[in-house]
Structure formats: structure tokens, C-alpha cells
Structure 1
Amino acid sequence: MSISTLPTTVATRTDALLPLVGADIEVPLVPSGTARYVDLDGAASTRPLASVAARVTEVLPLYASVHRGAGYLSQVSTALYEQARQTVGRFVGARDDDVTVLVRHTTDALNLLAGAVPEGAAVLVLDCEHHADLLPWQRRGPVTVLPTAGTVTGTLRAIGAELARGEYALLAVTGASNLTGEALPLEEVVALAHAAGTRVLVDGAQLVPHRRFSLAATGADYVAFSGHKTYAPFGTGALVGRRDWLDAAPAYLAGGGAVHEVTVDRTSWAAAPHRHEGGSPNVVGAVALAAACDALVALPDGARQQHERALRTRLVDGLTALPGVRVLRIWPDAGEPTGVVAFTVEGADPGLVAAVLSAEHGIGVRDGRFCAHPLTERLGVPEGALRASVGVGSTTEDVDRLLHGLTRYLTDGPAVAYTRVAGRWQPADDPRPSAGELLARASVCGPAAA
């Protein structure tokens, strides 16, 4: 198989909201043949929107140094970068006095904020959080990890009681679970926290790609999110929110661009956001993220939610109809989840099921514990689960392909033998070219060689 059989196409398929790069790419199967790749792993990383790829192609010839370059293209690149910053802030409803710090991803943003919370101040977080919204607070301390109750009502009650008991500077809460797509009602969480004098950080990694969100409307103090989960996988994310802590905090990445003046004895640091963006920034990544934000904002109000509702309902109904399949939920009284669905197959290793879906059906799903070990333990699946996620580029056909593949697995089992290699399942006698072989062929068959 030549690398030319894996074209990087752009396609809008039936009932997709927006076109994605690579939507019609074909992948090899076992024991033979090919199929269009069904990407249901967007909760980990999304494919770029076609409009994002087009914008990147447009600005690459203009790329140059930023912020202190005298050259014309340096001034153009600086303008592109700072315009992108404004676009990203508007995307999440930043207030006039909020600051937008461009970082690498959500994890980067949360670690930055962990260093900005006033020294000695306590943080409250739930045990259902992604590790990115748990580990920075554990390492920083002091932190209280509050057990998630069995209902939304009970969890809100527990949050309120804990806030009344202690003095917390910050409550860190997920905007939507990366395991189930569920969320607490943010306005109620913010009201509880602010009544106790506590600020609120929203981990928006699994929220802002799926729903409109506004700092101003919810009253939340900070939001963090990633471009690579928001259809701009070019290495930029953002922390957006209140300026005072960020202006007073030590520079997150000490270096050029973060300072006003440096002598051998002292340094005068810039204000945020530049205070925390030392070094040469990812201009192209910022432009890509801004382009994705523009594309999502341009959709009609409620379009993303309506699209995901139809696909998620079809998926959940199909899964629950299959024998031995359990769809995971945190709270029975939660509102409508985003397009993220976790499930288990009774008696089956999640990793093996994922490998079969990939190798035999060309379907990409996630398996494991999803960087949410306390939550998978709480849900009774310490060994992990499977996760399928839909978004603006997903279609009814994608969902049906997954349901068909699972049905085949439950009915017939694997079509070939599988073995573990470095902890992952794969076909024991895999005829497909390896990733290394494909990359080697790409270097021979690609445009440079031609």
C-alpha cells in the first residue's frame, strides 16, 4: 500500500455541521481491504476544520518574528497574533478587564493558574476532574478534593457545605466531563462559590468545542481550554480570566518577551498576558485557534447542541440495545451531556474491543481510564472503559458504523488473533503497513521527492 492511498482530503459528509480535513481518508483493515476511517476520538484530539487549515495556509507566507521586529512581516505577524488573542477572548465571553494568556493546552493553562493563586490560599476541587484539573492543585497545596455525590443536587449541596466550612480562594470545576460529557450547572456553582468569596475556574476543554460558553454570562472567573480539542490541533490553548492574580504572579516561563527591563541584579516583569508568554510564541497555532473560534461562533445558536443531541441519542440508544453494554453516567439528574459517551462491554477487555474496532472496521475510539482515575474508580470501572465522542464533523453514518462494529464483535468475536505488544492489543499477524513504513513511503512518494 502506498501512502497515496491515505489522501488528506477535505469533505463535508451528509449531516456533518462543518467540513474536516481528512474526513474521507481510507485506512487498511485486517484481514484485508480498506474502509473510510471513522474518527470518534475527538475528546482526545479533534481533526482540524477545513477553514482552519485554509487559514494556516494563508498566513504561513506572512510568518515572521513577533513583537519587536522592525520588518514589515514582523509587524504583520504581530498583528495576527494579537488579533488572534482578542478573538479567543471573545469566543469565551471575556469581560473588558479580563486577560487572555495563550499557552500550549489546557494542562499548561491550569498549571499556570496554579502558580498564580496567592501563596497559602486553599483550593477546592472535585474527584471527578481530569488529571489536568487535579494534579496541579495536589502539587501546589493546600487542596481539598471533594467526593462527587451520586446526584447533581447532592454534589451542589456538598460543595456549598464545604465552602461554608473553609476559606477557599478558588473552586476548580469541569465544564463537561471528559468521560461522560456531563456537567454541574455552572451558574449555580458560581453563585455558591461567590457567596463564599471564592473564585471559580472552569476546565473548558470538553465544554467549549461543544457548547457556547461565556465568562461574562456565567460569572465564572477563569476558563482554560485547548486548541487541539477545538478543531485547531496546532499547539495553542488559552487561559482567560481575571487579571489581578496573573499580574501579581511570578512569570510562568521566564524569558525574552516577559520583561520590561533586566539587569544583573533585578528584573522588571511585564504585565499579563506577556508576563507568562516568555520566548517566541506559537503564532500559527494562535491564528489556527482563532480561526476555529470564528467558525464555531458563526454557526447558528444551538446548532452544535442540536447536532450532538441527535448523534448522541442515536449512539446511546444503540449501545443500550446491545447485550452486555453499559453506558456510564455520573449523575442521573444531570442536564443534557455533550457528545462524549463512555461505555463498557461485559466480560471484554476495553483495549481489545478498541483494537478490533480499529483493525477490522476502521473505527477510532478511546480506551482506558481517560486521565480520570478517581472517576473511573468511583463509577466501578477501575480497569477502564471505552469512549466515543462526536462533534461538528461527525455524522449518522459514523455512529452506525460503530454500532455495527460492536454488534459484529458481540456476535462473532474477533476475526483474527490478537496479542499484546507494549501493553496494547494488536493483530498477531498484522498485514497492514506500520506507521514507520507509511512515513518512509511518504518521504519517497511525497511532493518533495516528486
Structure 2
Amino acid sequence: MSIASTTCPENRTDVTDEPALLPVVGRDTLVPLVDGRNVTYANLDVAASAPALESVAARVAQALPLYASVHRGAGYLSQVSTALYEASRRTIGAFVGAREHDVTIITRNTTDSLNLLAGCVPATVGEGRVLVLDVEHHANLLPWAAAPGGAAVLAGASSVAATLDALRAELAARPYALVAVTGASNVTGEALPVADVVTLAHAAGARVVLDGAQLVPHRGVDIAALDVDYVGFSGHKTYAPYGAGALVGRRDWLDAGTPHLAGGGAVRAVTHSEPDVPAAGAASATWALAPARHEAGSPNVIGAVALAAACEELAALDPAALHAHEARLRARLVEGLSQIPGVEVLRAWDDAVDPVGVVTFVVEGHDPGLVAAYLSAEHGIGVRDGKFCAHPLLARLGHRYGAVRASVGVGTTGEHVERLVTALASYVREGTRADYAVQDGCWVVRDDRRPLPDVSGLSGLVATAAVANVALAGGCGAPSEA
């Protein structure tokens, strides 16, 4: 391993005293280090999945004793659960600025939301074609192949201005039904100005869907004010990891589109035709309108309640305080990392402004998986390594083999950020103290002795070295978050 000689910069903007903005579940969780110490976990992997807000967990605890099947039950608890579910739907829609006639569909996550919408793009508008940029997470890249006209992927330029010019030219060259754009990159935290994208798309007769997975938890999003047609987002990134997400937007496509799942609750009536010959007959459905049309089966009531609780808590925050908290932490990350020799902070656009709290970097000559494993095993820091389900963007930025990502949120403290900067400077200066090896595609501590936590359900695991290493090391270059 080539080790550069450096010292931690003395002139810096220290944010050690920056407190968390809201209490999250697990904020005092201790994790073992390879040297035998236990330290409070520094969760800098919020962009992958955010911890639950304590208020969300409390709301779920209140709702669980009242849980029952919804919509068609005469029992008291069924009626209460139905009221909770529908009230949650209204809260979730209002949180992102749903218009009077918009519909809010409860989904599993952003990926589910965008796949649902892909089945509703009409062939009669813009030839059913979808335009998407190469900066997108795979959740906003791959589903559009299912649209009637398929998808065209536009390569982004090095600046926001040039990318908007390319978008304008492409929209003028051929018709599109929909433009799919990220609200904030899950790699760099940057974004195109949404209002400008909407203006260009609407002028060309196309609608706009916003991938809000990274934007919604970190900024106030008002689709009515922005004139965005649809937004999809995930509860597990919005401090409500209980399996629910949402798609919010204009009703007409959603009322007429292909039902996302075929099953009970999504229909008004089902008939069975009698066969003319001894053979099986055919079932025919009259589908309901949205949202029921796309919510077949028993819905995730608790997930919807949790997501609504998170929306309420975030809506009650002073937007300026939320913005300032993330801006301070992100600025310190960029400043501190940039001062370490051999470390490059990635950017999608040279002129992007106001990014959310996502910072991705590479250490020259060092495997991202090893860096992530080191930060976890020797400093108790959780980051993400790999290609972040954004392979085209990483390839365009010249890092097709991956990078390391640190991300912050309302539960992040300044100490977490300072710990990362100090730890990485130590890594570049001194290298690792433990011995690491690649096992099953992941960097792990060789002969890792750290114990698995004493949690019900883990007792059934065969605690082999491989299982323990993958569970605790934190670094794995191959998988990315869904």
C-alpha cells in the first residue's frame, strides 16, 4: 500500500459542536472496533437508508395495537385503521405540495413509484417516449424501458448550463411524453434547477417526474409551486424505514394506466365468462380509479402511518434551520476531504448550486471498499462504497470502479463529520492498523473477532467468519442500495 505523507490541516472550520437537528432511533448505539473498544456509531450512510425518527417509532408504537385490515372491514379496529391509512395519505400528499386533484399512491419506495408510473405513460402523448439523464439512479433510469415508446438517455455536460442546453435541443428534436429528472443526485447531492427543467419540458409538451428520493428528506418540495407533474420518494430515506413510499401527481394518467399489480382492492368488479367448450373460462376485471387501482392487496398501513409521521415532523422544522444544518456539515466534509492529499471530491456539474448533504470521494490509489471497511472497523463510521446504483454517472466521472460516499441528515452531528475527516487523514498518512482481505467480493478484517450484536433473530445464524465479517465490516464494492 502506498502511503502519502500528510498531516491533518490545522486551519479548518471545525463543526464538532454542531448538534443533531432531530433525535433518531439508534443515536446512542455502540459498535465494536477491532482494537476492542466500543464507540458510538457515526452513521454517514443516510443517503442509502435513514434511521427512524424517534417520533416516528413512537407513532408506530401507538398505531400497532389499533392495526387491522383496511377499507372493507366492519370491525371497529378496521375502521380506525382505514381512517389512519387515509389520513396518512393526505398528510404525505400535502407534504410535497399535492394539488387539489392530484392523487397520492402508497408504494414501497421510489423504485416502486417510478415503475408504477412507467406503466401509465400513454402512447398517445409524445409517442410514449421518456427522456432521462445519465446522472440518474437506476430507479429513475431502468423503469422507463417499459413505457410505450421506451426511453432515451441524454448524456449530461460538465456544467448545468450546457446540460440544460442539451436538454432543450433534445426536446426540440423529437416528441416526448415525460422527462424524468432527479431532485438531487445520490452521488454528488447536486441537481439541475427543477423549475428550468419544468419550463423546458412543458414548452415541448412533455410532463416531468421528479425522483425525490434524496431531495424530499432534505429540502421542502412543493410540486404545485414548481409545476412538477409527479414526484416519487421513499420512506426509508425520509426517516420512516417501515416499507412505504409514495407517488404523488396528476390523476389522469394514473386513472387510465395499467394497474401496477393485479389483485383484490384494485377492481370495481370481476366477472367470469362461461366457456363455449369444456375448457377454462376467462376472468375480466373492471378496474378502480387511482389510488385503489394501483394498491392491490393488503396495503402497508403501518408504513403509511410511519411515513406520515415523518412528514409531519419534517414539516414542523424551520426550513432555514434544516438547510443551515446540512450546509454546515456538507461544507466541512468538502473542505476537510479536499485538504487531504490524494482525495478527490466528485462533482457532476462545475456550476451546480445548493447541493444536499451527499459527498462522494475517491482516494487515489486505494480501493473504495478498503477505505469503507477501514472507516467502519477502526473508527465506527458507516459510509457507502461502490457505484451507488448510478453506473453511467460514475463512468462519465471517470470512476467506473466505484467511490466512497458520506451523507448526512437531521440526526447527524458535527462530531460524526470531524471523525470521518480525521480518520481519513490518518488512513492516508499511516495506513490501516488491522489486516484486511477481500472475501466474497468485499473487503473485511481478516480473522475478525468482533461479536455479532445480541439481537433476537441473529441466534439462528451460523456465525462463521464470513457472516460476521460481512455483517460488521461495512465495506463492499459490489452491491449498491436499492
Instruction: Give TM class, smaller chain.
Output: over 0.9
Alignment-derived partner of residue 277 in structure 2: none
Structure 2 counterparts to residues 311-322 of structure 1, below 5 A: 311-322=329-340
Structure 2 counterparts to residues 184-263 of structure 1, below 5 A: 184-263=192-271
- Asked if 1:130 is matched to 2:137, the reply is yes
SS of the counterpart of 1:20?
Answer: coil
Which of the numbers 280, 292, 306 marks the counterpart of 2:310? 292
Structure 1 alignment gaps of length 5 or more: 1-12, 444-450
SS of the counterpart of 2:167?
Answer: helix
Contact 1:328/1:341 (<8 A) preserved: yes
Q: Deviations over 1:7-27 (max 9, x none)?
A: xxxxxx961110000001000
What is the Cα deviation at residue 301 of structure 1? 2.6
Supply the distance in 1 between the matched residues of 2:455 and 2:199 (Cα, whole angstroms): 55
Structure 2 counterparts to residues 263-412 of structure 1, below 5 A: 263-265=271-273, 266-412=284-430
- Asked if 1:37 is matched to 2:47, the reply is no
Supply the distance in 2 between the matched residues of 1:329 and 1:104 (Cα, whole angstroms): 30
Structure 2 alignment gaps of length 5 or more: 1-16, 274-283, 462-482
Q: Deviations over 1:153-199 (max 9, x none)?
A: 00011111111111100000000000000000001110011011110
Q: Deviations over 1:368-400 (max 9, x none)?
A: 000000000001111100000001111110101
SS of the counterpart of 1:338?
Answer: coil
Structure 2 counterparts to residues 159-198 of structure 1, below 5 A: 159-198=167-206
Q: Deviations over 1:105-136 (max 9, x none)?
A: 00000000000001351110001100000111
Alignment-derived partner of residue 28 in structure 1: 32
Contact 1:31/1:431 (<8 A) preserved: no
User: 1:121 is matched by which residue type in structure 2?
Assistant: G
What is the Cα deviation at residue 260 of structure 1? 0.9
Contact 2:119/2:146 (<8 A) preserved: no
After superposition, the Cα gap between the structure-2 partners of 1:334 and 1:404, relative to the gap in structure 1 and judged at 3 Å, is same
TM-score, normalised with respect to structure 1: 0.94
User: 2:223 is matched by which residue type in structure 1?
Assistant: L
What is the Cα deviation at residue 404 of structure 1? 1.4
The percentage of aligned residue pairs carrying the same residue is: 62
User: 1:123 is matched by which residue type in structure 2?
Assistant: V
Stretch of structure 1 that moved more, 53-62 or 260-269: 260-269
Contact 2:219/2:319 (<8 A) preserved: no
Alignment-derived partner of residue 79 in structure 2: 75
What is the Cα deviation at residue 61 of structure 1? 0.4
Supply the distance in 1 between the matched residues of 2:18 and 2:227 (Cα, whole angstroms): 38
Contact 2:111/2:139 (<8 A) preserved: yes
Supply the distance in 2 between the matched residues of 1:387 and 1:285 (Cα, whole angstroms): 27
TM-score, normalised with respect to structure 2: 0.87
User: 1:241 is matched by which residue type in structure 2?
Assistant: G
After superposition, the Cα gap between the structure-2 partners of 1:313 and 1:442, relative to the gap in structure 1 and judged at 3 Å, is farther
What is the Cα deviation at residue 31 of structure 1? 2.7
SS of the counterpart of 1:238?
Answer: strand
User: 2:130 is matched by which residue type in structure 1?
Assistant: V
Contact 1:91/1:297 (<8 A) preserved: yes
Supply the distance in 2 between the matched residues of 1:440 and 1:148 (Cα, whole angstroms): 45
User: 2:193 is matched by which residue type in structure 1?
Assistant: P
Supply the distance in 2 between the matched residues of 1:426 and 1:93 (Cα, whole angstroms): 45
Contact 2:118/2:146 (<8 A) preserved: no
User: 2:57 is matched by which residue type in structure 1?
Assistant: A
Q: Deviations over 1:314-350 (max 9, x none)?
A: 1111001111110000111111100000000011000
What is the Cα deviation at residue 263 of structure 1? 0.9
Stretch of structure 1 that moved more, 139-148 or 335-344: 139-148
User: 1:209 is matched by which residue type in structure 2?
Assistant: P
Which of the numbers 90, 96, 99 marks the counterpart of 1:95? 99
Contact 1:201/1:222 (<8 A) preserved: yes
Supply the distance in 2 between the matched residues of 1:290 and 1:52 (Cα, whole angstroms): 9
What is the Cα deviation at residue 138 of structure 1? 2.9
Alignment-derived partner of residue 446 in structure 1: none
Which of the numbers 439, 449, 452 marks the counterpart of 1:431? 449
Contact 2:242/2:306 (<8 A) preserved: yes
Supply the distance in 2 between the matched residues of 1:100 and 1:64 (Cα, whole angstroms): 21
After superposition, the Cα gap between the structure-2 partners of 1:417 and 1:303, relative to the gap in structure 1 and judged at 3 Å, is same
User: 2:220 is matched by which residue type in structure 1?
Assistant: R
Give 4+ residue runs of structure 1 displaced > 6 Å after superposition: 435-438
Which of the numbers 108, 113, 137 marks the counterpart of 2:112? 108
Supply the distance in 2 between the matched residues of 1:393 and 1:277 (Cα, whole angstroms): 32
What is the Cα deviation at residue 32 of structure 1? 1.4
Supply the distance in 1 between the matched residues of 2:454 and 2:448 (Cα, whole angstroms): 14
Supply the distance in 1 between the matched residues of 2:252 and 2:263 (Cα, whole angstroms): 21
After superposition, the Cα gap between the structure-2 partners of 1:302 and 1:62, relative to the gap in structure 1 and judged at 3 Å, is same
Alignment-derived partner of residue 23 in structure 2: 19
SS of the counterpart of 1:21?
Answer: coil
SS of the counterpart of 2:188?
Answer: coil
Supply the distance in 1 between the matched residues of 2:405 and 2:166 (Cα, whole angstroms): 28
SS of the counterpart of 2:444?
Answer: strand
After superposition, the Cα gap between the structure-2 partners of 1:25 and 1:437, relative to the gap in structure 1 and judged at 3 Å, is closer
